[in-house]
Amino acid sequence: MLKKLLIAALLMPALFAQAAEEVNVYSYRQAYLVEPLFAEFTKQTGIKVNVVFAKKGMAERLEREGKHSPADVLLTTDISRLIELHEKGLLQVNEDATITAAIPAQYRSNDNTWFALTTRARNIYSAKKLGDLTLNYEDLADPKWAGRICTRSGKHPYNVALVSSMIAAHGEADTLTWLKKVKANLARKPQGNDRGQVQAISQNLCDLSLGNSYYFGKMLNDDKQKVWADAVNINFPNQENRGTHVNISGMGMAKFSPNADNAKALMTFLVSEQAQQMYAETNMEYPVRMGVKVSDLVASWGDFKADTLPLETIAKHRKTALKLLDQAKFDL
């Protein structure tokens, strides 16, 4: 009997340690999107996921916490936020073969410090009354659209990334000319968010706007906003040349991750077929993993050709894009 008690006592610490397994996530992604994924991960592994949600300030918080940071995995939207974490040395390399095999090279860093989880196209929405259109981003500078374009701030990360891709395609001087002409075509001063521009089209304030693809699905599934979405067509620009500009949501492993093995396990799960399918159905984004189907609603918008330029190349032009937006006085 005594021997059995001793064996049980020896086993207890191991059992407790297993029950206490956890991974800490700092997330710019909204709770409704990622919490179902974390619940499934915990169900499969027994590892508890603790999440800190934020809209800004992740890099500053990590810098402030330094080596004492509890963060293991960082989730963000937009390439610029991942590049900021990378440039500030707040990420560590993750060479897990499952992850690198699942994500195309153009959607992860060369040194395997950050990885895309989903992609989203930067579309041009057009008033349905205009019928079917074939549009390039370059067409937004055409004088025929004078007073007919709405957009959010040029300095929003989504638009900065688009301008960066224009620099990569056309160079600095031509992109500045393009920005000045697009500004001249605006129906109003840049304001609001992507959905607000579609609302403006539905109110006949303009005929074209820029917006990410998943917002179209969100509006169609919203009783209040469906009338906005019903007033527009979603267009995938540049299909006859370099392809539509695509941005990402992504992840990285924190530099001082205290639960590194659990962080790697969570990151591996997030690129699994099951998790990628959950992303596709919940947020109507495009799974980054090849072979995972988009939602039926997204599929109804048709296939499109994406720009194949690596996101790291686009990100290199970010500072120049901000400079050109200032020179064009785009938001003024």
DSSP-derived 3-state class of residue 143: helix
CA dihedral 275, 248, 242, 174 (to 10 degrees): 180
DSSP assignment string, 65-126: HGGG----EEEEESHHHHHHHHHTT-EE----HHHHHHS-GGGB-TTSSEEEEEEEEEEEEE
Task: For residues 247 and 121, give the distance between their C-alpha atoms in angstroms, rounded to a whole number.
Answer: 6
Angle between helices 79-87 and 58-65 (to 10 degrees): 20
Task: For residues 262 and 284, give the distance between their C-alpha atoms in angstroms, rounded to a whole number.
Answer: 28
Q: Is 28 annotated as a binding residue?
A: no
Q: Is 215 annotated as a binding residue?
A: yes
Report yes or no: 201 and 129 within 8 Å, Cβ to Cβ: no
Report yes or no: 89 and 277 within 8 Å, Cβ to Cβ: no
| Residue carrying the six token digits 């060479």 | 95
What is the Cα gyration radius of the chain? 22
Task: For residues 262 and 26, give the distance between their C-alpha atoms in angstroms, rounded to a whole number.
Answer: 14
Report yes or no: 245 and 304 within 8 Å, Cβ to Cβ: no
Residue 140 carries which DSSP code? G
Could you give the angle at the alpha carbon of 155 between the alpha carbons of 121 and 80, nearest 5°?
60
Q: Nearest Cα to 105, choosing from 257, 309, 318?
A: 309
Torsion sign across C-alpha atoms 22, 23, 27, 30: negative
Binding-site residue ranges for Fe cation: 214-215
Binding-site residue ranges: 214-215
